[in-house]
């Protein structure tokens, strides 16, 4: 069964991407958390353009998917998680946690290293949040993330099925954490003990630098708690929180050419 799932990784990826996008999009439509202030068509067009650019760059320079890459090195019996003496389930759990730790560390580095922040600020320049913000990454950031992920896979040699599960969780969680949805506090409160919820991630997208430097988790919130970067946003959310970057006005934040050039622009 795991081998069959891995061989269909591409179709599973699209199934989860489309399914979660539609489901969360309906949720946003029926129970939005706050009003979108920028032009939705312009924002969405810019986000699609960034996503297409990112995927083209990855296809040209790092064409191997993480799942197929893991499958290609699995028979070589190297890496920390490639021991045949370890049961599959503990290796899957370890993979989910360790790959999420890699993503957490990368995210924190993108905020800490000035050269990386110049790239990551494209993501933070959005003055709104909805599920399409999950597409809003500069192509260079996507390339660096993919390269670091493949390096982690070389070191860990995790089971391909575990990498697939990690990738599918990431796809759905990326949409959910950015979603403009209303969540009942009774559900939000327990969820944030495990996952990065929309309200936690909205605090990370605050225009205030102190809040931006918190809640770096991608899927799981445990790393922020462990490394003391957890920011306790209200379980009811805060509709008054200003989002985005002060140096980027709302109109520019929806212009694809401006976003692609943003990391290379002179500082104000």
Collapsing DSSP to helix, strand or coil, 233 comes out as: coil
Please check the confidence at residue 61 and state whether its pLDDT lies above 90.
no
What pLDDT, on the 0 to 100 scale, is given for residue 249? 86
As beta bridge partners, residue 243 has: 206
Please check the confidence at residue 97 and state whether its pLDDT lies above 90.
yes
The answer to whether the CB of 181 falls within 8 A of the CB of 23 is no
Please check the confidence at residue 133 and state whether its pLDDT lies above 80.
yes
Please check the confidence at residue 176 and state whether its pLDDT lies above 60.
yes
- The DSSP output letter for 220 is B
As beta bridge partners, residue 181 has: 32
Average the pLDDT over 139-167 and give the result.
Answer: 94
Q: Which has the closest alpha carbon to 160: 42, 75, 225? A: 75
Please check the confidence at residue 150 and state whether its pLDDT lies above 70.
yes
String of b and e for 190-204 (b: at least 16 CB within 10 Å)? ebbeebbbbbbbbbb
What pLDDT, on the 0 to 100 scale, is given for residue 164? 95
Phi-psi region of 58 (alpha: psi -120 to 50; beta: other; left: phi over 0): alpha
The answer to whether the CB of 170 falls within 8 A of the CB of 218 is yes
Average pLDDT, the chain: 90
- The DSSP output letter for 195 is B
d(CA 164, CA 172): 13
Average the pLDDT over 120-130 and give the result.
Answer: 95
The answer to whether the CB of 207 falls within 8 A of the CB of 243 is yes
- Report residue 159's pLDDT band, with 50, 70 and 90 as the boundaries: very high
Angle ∠(195,201,202) on CA atoms, nearest 5: 145
Average the pLDDT over 141-160 and give the result.
Answer: 94
d(CA 245, CA 6): 40
d(CA 19, CA 215): 26
Please check the confidence at residue 233 and state whether its pLDDT lies above 80.
yes
């Amino acid at each position: 069964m795991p081998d069959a799932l891995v061989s269909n990784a591409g179709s599973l990826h699209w199934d989860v991407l489309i399914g979660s996008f539609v489901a969360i999009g309906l949720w946003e439509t029926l129970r939005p958390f706050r009003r979108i202030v920028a032009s939705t068509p312009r924002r969405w067009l810019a986000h699609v353009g960034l996503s297409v650019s990112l995927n083209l760059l990855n296809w040209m320079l790092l064409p191997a998917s993480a799942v197929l890459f893991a499958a290609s090195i699995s028979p070589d019996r190297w890496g920390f998680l490639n021991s045949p003496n370890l049961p599959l389930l503990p290796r899957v759990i370890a993979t989910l946690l360790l790959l999420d730790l890699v993503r957490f560390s990368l995210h924190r580095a993108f905020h800490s290293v000035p050269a990386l922040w110049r790239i990551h600020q494209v993501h933070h320049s959005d003055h709104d949040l909805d599920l399409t913000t999950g597409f809003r990454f500069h192509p260079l950031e996507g390339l660096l993330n993919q390269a670091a992920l493949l390096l982690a896979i070389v070191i860990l040699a995790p089971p391909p099925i575990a990498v697939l599960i990690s990738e599918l969780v990431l796809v759905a969680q990326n949409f959910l954490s950015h979603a403009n949805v209303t969540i009942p506090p009774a559900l939000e409160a327990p969820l944030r003990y495990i996952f990065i919820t929309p309200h936690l991630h909205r605090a990370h997208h605050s225009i205030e630098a102190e809040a931006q430097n918190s809640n770096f988790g991608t899927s799981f919130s445990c790393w922020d708690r462990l490394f003391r970067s957890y920011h306790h946003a209200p379980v009811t959310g805060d509709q008054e929180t200003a989002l985005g970057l002060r140096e980027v006005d709302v109109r520019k934040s929806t212009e694809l050419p401006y976003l692609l050039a943003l990391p290379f622009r002179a500082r104000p």
